[in-house]
Chains A and B, each alone.
Chain A
Amino acid sequence: MVTHTAGQLVNHAAGVTDEATQQLTLVLFMSVAVITLFTVLLTAPQRDEIGEFYLGNRDMSPLRNGLAMCGDYLSAATLLGSTGVVALTGYDGLLYLGGTVVAWMMALLMIAEPLRNSGKFTLGDNLALRLSQGQRSVRLALVLCTLAVCLLYLVAQLVGSIALLAQFTGAPSGTVRTMCVVVIGSMVVVYAAIGGMPGATVIQVVKAVMLVAGVGGTAILVLHHFSWNIDNLLSSAAGNSALGDRFLGPGLRYGGTTTNKLDFFSLQLAIVLGLAALPHIMMRLLAPRKTRVLRSSVVWAVGLIGFVCLMAGVLGLGATAVVGRGEIVDVDPKGDAAVLLLGYELGGPVLAALLSSLAFVTLLGVAGGLTLAGASSIAHDLYGAVIRKGKATEREEVTVARLAAAAIGIMGMMLALLSWGTSTATLAFLAFAIAASAILPTIVYSLFWKGFTARGALLSLYGGLSCSVLLVVFSPVISSTPSSVYPDSDFAWFPLQNPGIVSIPAGFLLGWLGSVLSRPQEPQVYQEFEVRALVGADER
């Protein structure tokens, strides 16, 4: 992952857009923001009921649910980052996009239905039912892991907004940077704190519709440009990449040494397994009232995400074919500008402005979902169950959730301002790795293994979290290479940038070890839980 420096952007930023595009983007983005803000205020939960605040309207149709899931999942990283990677590295970039979709299979086939059947508001409720003995400490551990994932991912989105802004104005000055983060951050807080889940859903649905339409429309333009001939598209992409056939073969990005290949595998592992454990996705999985609705929602989500990812591949290849790889690298060495350049080339300032406002809205939506997930976890698990021991009234809990949303938002803003130079992708992938190695083992074990105990949960939550964080600290991301955070010092004894390949098995192993070593639970608890997970106890 290349941490781009401000200087590179200054020199080339003028190439991305012109005045008209900038103004148009601003107008479009503001109008979408204002409209959604009003809708959020209108749909905001009026009564302080926790069910409504955490889960929103539980009777939505599968299509709307699926759209909301799609909106929660696809971030600006997919729209700009992945297409950029496709444009720069061809085949390896397409593999990324594949992983993004395959991740949902795990969620659909293994996690979604049992989780929804046995759960109530948050994952903490599932665990409390399943591990009733040590539920308070387990909830605490879960809150910590959830917050770590949410904050990292939130910071990634906010840092991404700075990077996106840099595409327009060149390297932003300190004030502009702060302004950008504060504006986006406070909008996110308003969405999450006032709107709760109903508000977040509105944004996700609007955003997903815009995303599907925008990406699909642009892809049609690309295909039309090549007169619907895929072969033609592929050969011009290979031709304009200045790399020839290597562009369409594996190994451009993660080729060469075995370390690199393992690194790529490790990344894919974290993406594929981490998705189902991301807090904001899990909240969506818990929302539908009926199992059948949940199933069709996830199927819709997979379909929509698959469509967007396929089209994103077309866009990436199209960017190389139409614009040329050299020019994309000139503007942004990471390739994030690929789609915007393509839009400008094919549809002039209007399309470029549409795509960039789409990217901002996308950022906003994902950040909102994350803030809400973190806030529900704090209010329900930490405040409701650990501090007040279940005695808090619904009104108190919702108030705490709103305050927590504000706190998380502010913390995210400050962290984003501190770490604005870091690569968005690194932060996001670390979040995926933590989710896959800390939260996923706990979910899988608690749903499917009757020997799982509270100590096992604690070990796998804390162990997975610290394992992935430590491995990143001692990896080339932090030290030893010119692109790391501290390029001058060298304490990187772990060769891979992505800790997944080690930390995910470690999380599972620790969970198993802890459960085997502690006193087994009464079998009755698991039996009740299992019936609940299969049948769906609170379904009417």
Chain B
Amino acid sequence: MRSAYRSFSTMATLVSVGGFLTYVLLSSFAAGLMNQALIGRLTIGLALGLGQFVLMGVTIWLYVRHMRRRVDPVTHRLRAQLRENRTRAQAQVQAQARAQAGPRHAPSGRRPRTW
């Protein structure tokens, strides 16, 4: 699960942030190329700039889909497992469990569960 989360988000960050930084560098150092007109006044540079927005949109969409499909189910399972372990541990050594879990880990049920 760690690799599922991390490899995807690292790649996505590299693509979107790196893509943008390359675009900035290209604009500074390859101005001639960026100035070529595509349609009317729309130059390659401006078109690539708009492309950045599209790229971001696509990345976000992929990210949300990836998280929902691959990562969330695992998280839920793990979380349930953790909670189970904790309740069991609590029954055994109540004081120790409380110290470990911290003040915010009050036993579930105080608030209506959402899943």
* B64 located at the interface, meaning its Cβ lies under 8 Å from any Cβ of chain A in the complex: yes
The proximity string for A residues 251-263 relative to B, scoring 1 for CB distances below 8 Å and 0 otherwise, is 1001100000100
B21-75: which have CB < 8 Å to A? Answer: 21, 23-25, 27-29, 31, 34-35, 39-43, 45-46, 49, 52-53, 56-57, 59-60, 63-64, 67, 72, 75
* B9 located at the interface, meaning its Cβ lies under 8 Å from any Cβ of chain A in the complex: yes
Could you say which residues of chain B place their CB within 8 Å of the CB of A296? 64
Q: Give Cα distance in the complex from A95 to B45, angstroms.
A: 10
* A101 located at the interface, meaning its Cβ lies under 8 Å from any Cβ of chain B in the complex: yes
Chain A's nearest CB lies how many Å from the CB of B18?
10
Task: Select which of B9, B20, B35, B60 is within 8 A of A249 by beta carbon.
Answer: B35
* A538 located at the interface, meaning its Cβ lies under 8 Å from any Cβ of chain B in the complex: yes
Chain A's nearest CB lies how many Å from the CB of B20?
4
Cβ–Cβ contact B45 & A249, under 8 A: yes
A228-269: which have CB < 8 Å to B? Answer: 230-231, 234-235, 238, 245, 248-251, 254-255, 261, 264-265, 268-269
Could you say which residues of chain A place their CB within 8 Å of the CB of B5? 534
Cβ–Cβ contact B21 & A110, under 8 A: no
Task: Select which of B42, B43, B56 is within 8 A of A102 by beta carbon.
Answer: B56
Q: Give Cα distance in the complex from A250 to B33, angstroms.
A: 10
The verdict on A99 contacting B108 (CB below 8 Å), with A249-B43, A255-B31 known, is no
Task: Select which of B25, B56, B78, B105 is within 8 A of A535 by beta carbon.
Answer: B78
A295-334: which have CB < 8 Å to B? Answer: 295-296, 299, 302, 306, 310
Range for the number of chain A residues in contact with chain B: 35 or more
The verdict on A251 contacting B28 (CB below 8 Å), with A245-B35, A535-B79 known, is yes
Q: Report the count of interface residues on B (CB-CB < 8 A).
A: 52
Cβ–Cβ contact B12 & A109, under 8 A: yes
Cβ–Cβ contact B27 & A91, under 8 A: yes
Could you say which residues of chain B place their CB within 8 Å of the CB of A306? 53, 56-57
* A525 located at the interface, meaning its Cβ lies under 8 Å from any Cβ of chain B in the complex: no
Cβ–Cβ contact B17 & A102, under 8 A: yes
Task: Using CB atoms, name the residue of chain B closest to A105.
Answer: B16
* A290 located at the interface, meaning its Cβ lies under 8 Å from any Cβ of chain B in the complex: yes
Q: Give Cα distance in the complex from A277 to B92, angstroms.
A: 41
Cβ–Cβ contact B45 & A250, under 8 A: yes
Q: Give Cα distance in the complex from A535 to B74, angstroms.
A: 9
Cβ–Cβ contact A299 & B13, under 8 A: no
Task: Select which of A98, A272, A292 is within 8 A of B49 by beta carbon.
Answer: A98
Task: Using CB atoms, name the residue of chain B closest to A298.
Answer: B60
Cβ–Cβ contact B16 & A109, under 8 A: yes
* A6 located at the interface, meaning its Cβ lies under 8 Å from any Cβ of chain B in the complex: no
Cβ–Cβ contact A540 & B111, under 8 A: yes
* A456 located at the interface, meaning its Cβ lies under 8 Å from any Cβ of chain B in the complex: no
Cβ–Cβ contact A106 & B17, under 8 A: yes
* A491 located at the interface, meaning its Cβ lies under 8 Å from any Cβ of chain B in the complex: no
Chain B's nearest CB lies how many Å from the CB of A391?
14
Cβ–Cβ contact A105 & B24, under 8 A: no
16 A-B pairs within 8 Å (CB atoms) are namely: A98-B20, A102-B20, A109-B16, A110-B10, A231-B42, A234-B40, A235-B40, A238-B41, A248-B45, A250-B27, A250-B28, A272-B17, A299-B60, A302-B60, A306-B56, A306-B57
Interface residues of B (CB under 8 A from A): 1-2, 5-6, 9-10, 12-13, 16-17, 20-21, 23-25, 27-29, 31, 34-35, 39-43, 45-46, 49, 52-53, 56-57, 59-60, 63-64, 67, 72, 75, 78-79, 82, 101-102, 104-105, 108, 110-111, 113-114
